[in-house]
Amino acid sequence: MPPRLYSGPLSMFGAKAEIALHEKGVPFELVMVPFDMERLYEPKHSEVARINPKRQVPVLVDDGVELFDSTQIFEYLEDRWPAPPLWPAGAVARARARQIEHLSDEVYFPPVIRLMGLQSVPHEPAAVAARDACAAFYRRLEATLGTSEWLAGPYTYADIAFFMAQLFGARMGAPMTEATPALLAWRARMADRPAVRRVAAAMGRYLLSVDRPLPPFLEAMVEADR
């Protein structure tokens, strides 16, 4: 039986796991749990609620193993299907990649979450501070990227994590700009990856179905995936 991934149409963390499974070339069953823009994930899917004490997607079930949290799923995928590798070789390089993945989730994404509740008041100090925090993170990663193709040497989970996080940042009014040209070029390379385009375009199509606007780069990915 193939692994089963429980996700949602607007789950950033579920999309991370879905991209990773596609990059690994692992056949899997994708279960999109009930979601709408008013009630969100209520009522909770029974299997998600049973497996994850936080009652959130993503959840991965594979051969008797039941996991939640996108980072833990990344680690499991790397052990279970080591080729192609999505962490770099060597302890130091892996540590750096893991740190970027962690920063994307735990440092960059919280200001994006704050912006989700401030869409109607973009000039409020809290909204300005959240956008400033996102811009500071972009500058930090611009310096980290330098002239490299990917964020942590080879293509890794760090790239997957930040791509999905910045997609939500762009949607919430904190887009990357010409102030970080290397990151913009990196995003274009990410958008060309079939696994990334497949998952991001599906999210874009869902947003269009509920009359939500798309950032220009995501609109282009939807068109490219038709």
Q: Note the pLDDT tens digit of each residue in 48-106.
A: 999 999 999 999 999 999 999 999 999 999 999 999 999 999 999 999 999 999 999 99
| Tokens read off for 108 | 């960059």
Distance between CA atoms of residues 154 and 76, nearest Å = 19
Q: Note the pLDDT tens digit of each residue in 164-186.
A: 999 999 999 999 999 999 999 99
38 or 217, higher pLDDT: 217
End-to-end CA distance of the chain: 30
| Tokens read off for 177 | 């700009």
Domains of the chain: 4-80 (3.40.30.10), 91-224 (1.20.1050.10)
Supply the mean pLDDT for the chain.
95
pLDDT at 40: 75
In 10 A of CB 213, how many CB atoms?
A: 10
57-90 in b/e form (b: 16+ CB < 10 A) is: bbbbbbeeeebbbbbebbebbbeebeeeebbbee
pLDDT at 114: 95
The full DSSP string for 187-212 is HHHHHHSHHHHHHHHHHHHHHHHTT-
